[in-house]
Amino acid sequence: MSGLFGYTGAAGAFDHILHGLSKLEYRGYDCAGISLLLNGEITTQKVAGRLSALGEPTALCPELKQSTCGIGSTRWAPGAAAQQSDIPPYGTARLSLVLSGMIENYRELRAQLSGEGYAFDSTSDGEVAAKLLDWLYKGNPVEALAKANSMLQGSYAIAVLFADYPHELYGVARNSTLFVGRGEGESYVTSDLSALVEFTREYDTLGKGEVVCLSPDNIRVMNQQGNLLTRETQTASQDLAQVRKGGYRHFMMKEICEQEQLLAEMLRSRIFKGLPSFDRDGLPEGLFTRYHRVLILGCGTAMHAGALGKEFIEQLAHISAEVHLAAEYRFRDPILSDNTLVIALSQSGETSDTLSAMRLAQSKGAKVLAIVNVPGSTMAREADYVLYAHAGPEISIASTKVFMLQMGVLYLVAIEMGRTHDIIDDSKARDLVKALLEATKSIGQVLEQNEQIQKQAREMARTQSVYYIGRGLDWPMMMEGSLKLKEVTYIHAEAYSAGEFRHGPISLVAPDFPVVALATQQMLIPQMLDNIREIRGQDSNVLVICRNSLSLDESLEQSAVRLPDLDDLFMPIPAAVALQLLAYYTAVAKGRNVDAPRHLTKAVTD
Ligand code: M6R
C-alpha cells in the first residue's frame, strides 16, 4: 500500500510534497521517494525507512529545492527492508511515476515489455506501469496515459511527471480515487483527501478512463479520447485540526476521545422528529421495507461492527441478518435474492477484499448499502446507496472512532428497519433513539475511569497471551477488543464466546494466562459469573469489565472496570471505549509505536 502526492506551482515543490506525504505516512511508512523537475531534467531521491529521512539536509542536492514541480510517494513494504529499485517513484529519463493501489496484470505486461527491450530492476507493479507509459509515450502525455489506462487492470491511482512538460503533472485512476486540488497559482494531486486539505479545500476526483493534466493555473480533465470535460469542483468539509494531533501524544488517544462528540453529532444529523432519517443521505423512501434478509460484509474492525449490527437488526427488526468476512465471501458462489440487502462496511472504502465481495454481490443482482468513512472513496462511488460514518480522518492505524460511528449508523438502520417492518411502533422507535443519544454520554464516563484502566494495562503489559470472553453482544465486542490489543501491543489475544470457552479453550488457562471477561448483558450475567468462577478455579487472573450494578466478589472487584448502566442493546458503546483504552495504555506501557504498529497498514488495498 502507498500514498502519493504531487505539486506544481510557483513555490518550492520539495517542501510541499514532503508536507503532503507526511499526512499519508499512515498508508505506508517503510520507504519514501520524490521526483523533482528542474531545467528539463527529472531527479529522483529515495530512502528506505521513514519519510523524515528524505527531509535530512544530506538527502537532497540544495539546488533541487528550487524545483516547482514534482511528485512523491510513501510505501508500505512489509518483510525485508525495501531495495532502492523497489522504492517509488519509478521511471525512465523521460518520465517519473508514483502509484497508489495495485496493478493486477503487471506480470503479463512486464513480459510484453521485456519483449520490447525493457529491463526491470524491481518486482514492483509501479515500475511496469512506468515502463509501459514510456513505451506508449510519443510526445503526447494524455494519449499515452489514456492508452496505458486501457491496458492496465486493477485498482490504482497514478501521477506522472514528463521531462518534456516542466510545469505539468498528469494522472489517471481506475477503481481507486485520485484527488486533484487547486490553490492560488498552484495545483495538487494526491491519493488522499486528508493530505489535500492541508493546502486547499477545492477538489475534484477522476472518473473511469479520465486523464488529468495539472499546471499551476489550471486543471484539465479529459476523457479517453482526449476531449476536455467540464467539471464542477467540490469543497472538502474536513477540518484541518482534525488531521492534526492537537495536543494528544498519539492519534489513537485523540480519536478515542473524539468519539462522544462525533457520535452525538452524527446521530443528531440523522434524527428528524425523534426518528431516524436518511433523507439527506439520498436513500430512497421505503428502501428498508424492500428487504427481508440482510448480509453484512467487512474486514477486521469493520466486520466486528457488522457482527454487532447483525444483532441490532435481528433484535429490533426481526430480519434475518448474516455477517461475513469479505476476504472469504469474495471467493464464494453466493446465494442472493432480490429480498437481500447487502451492507458493506469500511473505514477507507478502498479495502480490496470488501470491494471484491461487494462487486460479487452486485454482479449477482444485489443492491449494496455502503457504510464508509472516507468521502468519495471507491466503495462510496460504486455502492448503490451510501451512508457516511462522518468520523473525519482516522489517522491511527488501529480503528477506534470509525468503529464507534459505524455502530452508531447500524443502530439507526436497525431502528428504522424495525419501524418500517412494523416490529416497533413510532413511540418505541423514539424511545430507542432517545436512549441511543443518551448512551453517547457513557463514552465520557468511561474516559473518567482512565486511572483504573491504566493500572490494569500495566498488568496486561506483562502478559504474553490473553483470552477475551463474552456472551451475546459482548462476544463480537470482545472480538474487536482482542483485535485492538493484538494490533497495538503485539500480545497474543483471542476472543471466544464464553459459552464455547468451556469446550476446549479453557485448557490453556493458567496463572500466567489471564482472561478479560466482559459482562454487560443482563440476561447472561449468571452464565458469565459461572465462567468467571471456573476460570478463577484454575488460579488464573480475570479482569472483569462489567456494568456498574453488578456485584462482584471482593477479589474481582479490585481489578474490575465499571461501565455505566444502560439498556443491554447500547452497552457496546461504553464497552468499546474501555477495551480501546485497555489496548492503548497497554501499548504505551510496552513502548509500542501506537499509531503505526508493525506490519499493518491503514487500508489493505492489494
Ligand atoms: O478500511 P476498512 O475499514 O475496510 O479496513 C478494514 C480492516 O483492514 C481494518 O478494520 C483493520 O482491521 C484495522 N487495522 C482495525 O484497527
Residue the block writes with cell 468511561: 446
Residue 165 alpha carbon to ligand 1 centre in Å: 39
Residue nearest to atom 14 of ligand 1 (CA): 398
**Which pLDDT score, from 0 to 100, does residue 497 have?**
93
**Which pLDDT score, from 0 to 100, does residue 545 have?**
97
Q: Give the CA dihedral 315, 309, 502, 519, nearest 10 degrees.
A: -80
- Asked whether 18 lines ligand 1 (CB < 6 A), one says no
Residue 192 alpha carbon to ligand 1 centre in Å: 16
pLDDT tens digits, 299-309 = 999 999 999 99
Q: How big is the CA angle at 126 (ends 125 and 127), to the nearest 5 degrees?
A: 90
444-589 has the same fold as 251-439: yes
Q: Is 154 a residue whose pLDDT tops 90?
A: no
pLDDT tens digits, 405-429 = 999 999 999 999 999 999 999 999 9
**Which pLDDT score, from 0 to 100, does residue 59 have?**
67
**Which pLDDT score, from 0 to 100, does residue 60 have?**
72
**Which pLDDT score, from 0 to 100, does residue 26 have?**
60
SS3 (DSSP) at 418:
helix
Atom of ligand 1 nearest to the CA of 397: 14
Say which residue, 489 or 390, is predicted with more confidence.
Answer: 489
Q: Is 1 a residue whose pLDDT tops 80?
A: no
Q: Which three cell numbers stand for residue 519?
A: 459482562
- Asked whether 351 lines ligand 1 (CB < 6 A), one says yes
Residue 403 alpha carbon to ligand 1 centre in Å: 9
CATH topology (fold) of 444-589: Rossmann fold (3.40.50)
**Which pLDDT score, from 0 to 100, does residue 213 have?**
97
Residue 327 alpha carbon to ligand 1 centre in Å: 12
**Which pLDDT score, from 0 to 100, does residue 339 have?**
92
Residue % of the chain over a pLDDT of 70: 95
pLDDT tens digits, 451-473 = 999 999 999 999 999 999 999 99
CATH homologous superfamily of 2-243: Aminohydrolase, N-terminal nucleophile (Ntn) domain (3.60.20.10)
Calpha distance 606→588 (Å, rounded): 30
Residue 250 alpha carbon to ligand 1 centre in Å: 18
Residue 546 alpha carbon to ligand 1 centre in Å: 27
What's the DSSP call for residue 59?
Answer: G
CATH class of 251-439: alpha beta
The residue to mutate among 26, 348, 396, 487, having the most atoms of ligand 1 within 8 angstroms of its beta carbon, is: 348
Q: Give the CA dihedral 312, 316, 317, 319, nearest 10 degrees.
A: 50
SS3 (DSSP) at 496:
strand
Say which residue, 51 or 396, is predicted with more confidence.
Answer: 396
- Asked whether 300 lines ligand 1 (CB < 6 A), one says yes
**Which pLDDT score, from 0 to 100, does residue 52 have?**
78
- Asked whether 354 lines ligand 1 (CB < 6 A), one says yes
Q: Is 400 a residue whose pLDDT tops 90?
A: yes
How many CA within 13 A on the CB side of residue 262?
27
Q: What is the mean pLDDT of the chain?
A: 91
- Asked whether 487 lines ligand 1 (CB < 6 A), one says yes
Contact 40/77 with Cβ under 8 angstroms? no
- Asked whether 603 lines ligand 1 (CB < 6 A), one says yes
- Asked whether 347 lines ligand 1 (CB < 6 A), one says yes
**Which pLDDT score, from 0 to 100, does residue 79 have?**
44
Average pLDDT over residues 49-72: 82
Atom of ligand 1 nearest to the CA of 354: 4
Buried b (16+ CB within 10 A) or exposed e, 382-402: bbbbbbbbbbbbbbbbbbbbb
Helices (H) and strands (E) in the chain, counts: 19, 27
Average pLDDT over residues 518-535: 94
Concatenate the DSSP letters of all residues of 185-235 into one string: TEEEEES-HHHHTTT-SEEEE--TT-EEEEETTEEEEE-TT--EE----EE
Residue nearest to atom 16 of ligand 1 (CA): 398
**Which pLDDT score, from 0 to 100, does residue 463 have?**
95
Atom of ligand 1 nearest to the CA of 379: 4
Average pLDDT over residues 512-523: 94
- Split at pLDDT 50, 70, 90, the class of 58 is low
- Asked whether 346 lines ligand 1 (CB < 6 A), one says yes
- Split at pLDDT 50, 70, 90, the class of 3 is confident
pTM beyond cutoff 0.75: no
**Which pLDDT score, from 0 to 100, does residue 247 have?**
67
Domain boundaries, the chain: 2-243, 251-439, 444-589
Q: Is 312 a residue whose pLDDT tops 80?
A: yes
Residue 300 alpha carbon to ligand 1 centre in Å: 5
Calpha distance 543→176 (Å, rounded): 43
Calpha distance 595→587 (Å, rounded): 10
Q: Minimum mean pLDDT among 75-79, 211-215, 372-376, 435-439: which range?
A: 75-79
Q: Which three cell numbers stand for residue 366?
A: 444485489
